[in-house]
Structure 1
Amino acid sequence: MQDKGATILAVDDSAATLEVISRNLAAAGYEVHTRGSVEEAGAFLDETPVDLIITDYKMPRANGLELIKHVRDNFRDTEIMMITGYPSVSGAVEAMRDGAGEYLAKPFTGEELLAAVRRILDKQARRRAAHDEKQEAGNFGIIGDCAEMQAVFALIRKASRTSANVFISGESGTGKELVARAVHYNSDRRAFAFVPVNCSAIPDTLLESELFGHVKGAFTGAKESRAGFFEIANGGTIFLDEIGDASPSMQAKLLRVMQSKEFSMVGSSRIRTVDTRIIAASHKNLRHLVDQGLFREDLFYRIHVIEIRLPSLAERGDDILMLASHFLHKFATDMNREVPRLTDEALEALQQYAWPGNVRELENLLQRLVIICDGPVIDVTDLPESMRFTITRSRHGDKTLAEVEAEHIRSVLARTGDNKTRAAEILGIDRKTLREKLKRLGLG
């Protein structure tokens, strides 16, 4: 996710270390600057914005911790990585408590350096995306910036310039009605009605009456004549959601109105003419339904003049974070409360999760979190257990057991302010066992 063009400042009193850092990161596509002291780094930062600072821990005069504090006070969006030839738990805890996002012990390989830089820039990119309140004005009010959504926007523009039938495919919860509305309200039909109809929510016995209307006395309970959705949408657009659930008889009636632009109200023999654009949608694979004899092939081709496929939320990368930011601001504003902030770990968990319910599931989750979380921060522990499991599995997938254990112990100690008694309680071990682990892992 991170920007390969990120600007990085390396600060170390060792020219050899600066050369190693500069050579490896420049080869990976980063813009790298180097300085030999905290004072020189401070002067550079006053003139040049950077995305990441890699600083040594021990240097003459001012040390790396002083640089971290200076950056945290003046450059909140800049990430910091601490490196040192004197690894210790207390040093790591102090650095991370003061704002360092990563802690790397010398000597380190080029691969270890690049992996740490990628991790910290990934966190920064997630945070920036999640707290970016800007909306894309040219995207029809639909939030999204990934390549898949750009393709959707391009098709919306093309479909809006015609009156051709449109079929929108995609999983449940991906926003098919939003796209249908975007096509309608950017077309020449925008001054007329947009009428959404959920074919799966209306019983088949009532669907014909709802779509085409009925005359008084057409059936029991028909006390007066009533126009149907097609007539209401005359001149505009009717959106037939979940058309794959329509019965064979209803499919035949829909085919007729698409072919002839004519229909009859239930209980009437009078032919009525209608000029209604049809946009249909389904989460089902209609081609498979055609092959199984469950959906008319001629109707399939009628509605498939233009197809717009919506990607699942899991396919949309950083869009997840943009949507999360949008929903946080929306629900917090609705509830007249401060907009809560998502921690880096919570952002990572949102992005790693599979989202079977797509955007609708994300929206429901963020609404629930805004309601139940009292403080200004939403952490990974506030998320459902399934999401916490996903991030744990993803983060540790390629690490040895010792590496995972060392990373977890460092993290717990940092959160407890190096309180070993409290850390041991959280880890579920006694203080003596913790000391032994720290010694064995080279963290003591």
Structure 2
Amino acid sequence: MLKKENILLVDDDIQILELLHRHLSGMHYHTYSAVSVKEALYILKDTEIDLLITDINMPEINGIQLIKYTAEHFPDMPKLVVTGFPSIDDAMSVIKSGATEYLTKPFTKAELEDAVEKALKSVSPKKKSSKSGQQHPTAYGEMIGASEAFEDVVEIIERVKDNHATVLIQGESGTGKELVARAIHYSGTFSRAPFIAVNCGAIPENLLEAELFGYTKGAFTGANETRNGFFQAANNGTIFLDEIGNASLAVQGKLLRVLQEKEVMKVGSQKPEKLNVRIIAATNSNLEEMIEGKHFREDLYYRLTVVSIKVPPLRERISDIPLLVNKFLQKYGVEYRDRLVSITPEALEVLQRYSWPGNIRELENIIQRAIIMCDGQVSVKHLPEQVKFKIDFPEESLKPLKQVEKEYIQKVLASTGNNKSKAASILGIDRKTLREKLK
């Protein structure tokens, strides 16, 4: 399970950010990432942070200024400085500015863990105790579950629901990534603002930019009027960009500008428009592999992963299957049968044994079909063949051609009652050739 502490990482070196994120995630901390002081201030504005980890040498505004700022605006928050240019003067300046700990690059995972623990111990007991004892119900928005994997997702939703931090949701197809995005929006303080969902894979590439950012009259053939895009429609709320991996490199560049400058520009316009939009993106693609293949921008990836949520596949949430089945039985029982439908223990056991390559979407479809086919109670006979027990026969060993030919001739003779004329006809050879083979 995740620990309760939120850690903000600030460094213009995305490789160091990734290293810190990987190490701290392995220690079960939850992290926010920023590649500049400006981005860090956006996160600090409406997110409760328990520890700041920052580099000193960064362009425009350096880490010393960030330390001084947070020392006065967030005096109870410990600050850990990580730098690759150590000096006694730097160390003294950092400590005087309000830093709690000082760590020099390169560092080991153990050294990082020790520094983080020391920094967090400096937090007053009163502040620590105020965060303990939180419990989440098994139902959260349209989602339901009680497994540790589900609780970890809910834990992150609770952290980000009341701020505008950019979120990237990753998971296999059918795991409920859009439900997670909707839970973030509708359970937080911005629930009354617009929530606009856009499937980047469903819009033709040549139209995606115009649909996202809008266009001016005459910008292209068919643009008979000026029109707002999805981003303008989502102003002050949330835009959910599903299948972000399908966006072209040109559109990715535009998205990067939105994240950096908090503004969009219509197609055909030279005037930017300031917007206040939270971006939640989702993908079932491996963006790291796409970056290596030059199909996805690395700088955009790190801008999107201020907060990363990995939605677990259903095979890692087997204990949640009874809850999900019950939810779908109630939903579709009333819809299709106008009454509640039950399920036998044997059928439920079969469902819990299956590997679910199609995840929750596959489970929902199977329950829908079973309700239609049953008379009030779903049993094993109402379940499709693919979820039922299978016998995996061992692969037959490879045999010489003569052996295969011999066995087949014997099989044909047996099926014809040893009638050689009929067998020869089936085999496509004459009786003389058959007799030679039988010898």
What's the CA shift for 1:240? 0.7
Aligned to 1:396: none
> How big is each residue's C-alpha offset from its partner over 1:286-326, in whole Å with a ceiling of 9 and x where there is no partner?
11211222211100000001111111011102211111111
> Which structure 2 residue ranges, 5 or more long, are not aligned?
1-135, 393-439
Residue type of the alignment partner of 1:208: E
Aligned to 2:380: 380
SS of 2:388's equivalent in the other structure is helix
> How big is each residue's C-alpha offset from its partner over 1:379-429, in whole Å with a ceiling of 9 and x where there is no partner?
212211111125x78xxxxxxxxxxxxxxxxxxxxxxxxxxxxxxxxxxxx
Residue type of the alignment partner of 1:339: L
SS of 2:185's equivalent in the other structure is helix
> How big is each residue's C-alpha offset from its partner over 1:203-255, in whole Å with a ceiling of 9 and x where there is no partner?
11110011001122222222222110111111111111111111111111111
How far apart in 2 are the matches of 1:339 and 1:248?
49
Residue type of the alignment partner of 2:157: I
How far apart in 2 are the matches of 1:138 and 1:318?
14
The percentage of aligned residue pairs carrying the same residue is 49
Aligned to 1:314: 315
Kept in 2, the 8 Å contact 1:230–1:276? The answer is yes
Question: Which structure 2 residues correspond to residues 311-350 of structure 1 after superposition, within 5 A?
Answer: 311-350=312-351
Instruction: Pick closer, same or farther for the CA change 1:187–1:383 going to 2, 3 Å.
Output: same
What's the CA shift for 1:377? 2.2
Residue type of the alignment partner of 2:207: L
Aligned to 2:185: 184
Kept in 1, the 8 Å contact 2:138–2:144? The answer is no
The answer to whether residue 294 in structure 2 is matched with residue 280 in structure 1 is: no
Question: Which structure 2 residues correspond to residues 354-373 of structure 1 after superposition, within 5 A?
Answer: 354-373=355-374
Residue type of the alignment partner of 2:178: E
The answer to whether residue 231 in structure 2 is matched with residue 230 in structure 1 is: yes
How far apart in 2 are the matches of 1:351 and 1:138?
20
Kept in 2, the 8 Å contact 1:213–1:265? The answer is yes
SS of 2:144's equivalent in the other structure is coil
Residue type of the alignment partner of 1:322: L
How far apart in 2 are the matches of 1:301 and 1:274?
21
How far apart in 2 are the matches of 1:308 and 1:174?
12
What's the CA shift for 1:138? 6.0
How far apart in 2 are the matches of 1:183 and 1:213?
26
Residue type of the alignment partner of 2:379: D
How far apart in 2 are the matches of 1:161 and 1:324?
31
Aligned to 2:45: none
SS of 1:335's equivalent in the other structure is helix
How far apart in 1 are the matches of 2:384 and 2:336?
22
Deviation larger for 272-281 or 335-344: 335-344
Kept in 2, the 8 Å contact 1:381–1:388? The answer is no
How far apart in 2 are the matches of 1:246 and 1:290?
13
> How big is each residue's C-alpha offset from its partner over 1:132-184, in whole Å with a ceiling of 9 and x where there is no partner?
xxx94762341111000000000000111321101111101111111111111
Question: Which structure 2 residues correspond to residues 105-144 of structure 1 after superposition, within 5 A?
Answer: 136=137, 139-144=140-145
Aligned to 2:261: 260
> Which structure 1 residue ranges, 5 or more long, are not aligned?
1-134, 394-444
Kept in 2, the 8 Å contact 1:169–1:307? The answer is yes
Kept in 1, the 8 Å contact 2:140–2:183? The answer is no
TM-score when scaled to structure 2? 0.56
| C-alpha RMSD over aligned residues | 1.7
- Once superposed, which parts of structure 1, at least 4 consecutive aligned residues long, lie more than 3 Å away? 135-138
How far apart in 1 are the matches of 2:373 and 2:226?
48
Aligned to 2:214: 213
> How big is each residue's C-alpha offset from its partner over 1:98-148, in whole Å with a ceiling of 9 and x where there is no partner?
xxxxxxxxxxxxxxxxxxxxxxxxxxxxxxxxxxxxx94762341111000
TM-score when scaled to structure 1? 0.56
SS of 1:318's equivalent in the other structure is helix
Kept in 1, the 8 Å contact 2:216–2:267? The answer is yes
How far apart in 1 are the matches of 2:192 and 2:340?
36
Kept in 1, the 8 Å contact 2:373–2:382? The answer is no
Aligned to 2:71: none
Aligned to 1:404: none
How far apart in 2 are the matches of 1:199 and 1:388?
36
How far apart in 2 are the matches of 1:146 and 1:197?
30
How far apart in 2 are the matches of 1:236 and 1:338?
38
How far apart in 1 are the matches of 2:321 and 2:171?
17
Residue type of the alignment partner of 2:378: I
Residue type of the alignment partner of 2:275: V
SS of 1:207's equivalent in the other structure is helix
What's the CA shift for 1:360? 0.8
How far apart in 2 are the matches of 1:278 and 1:337?
39
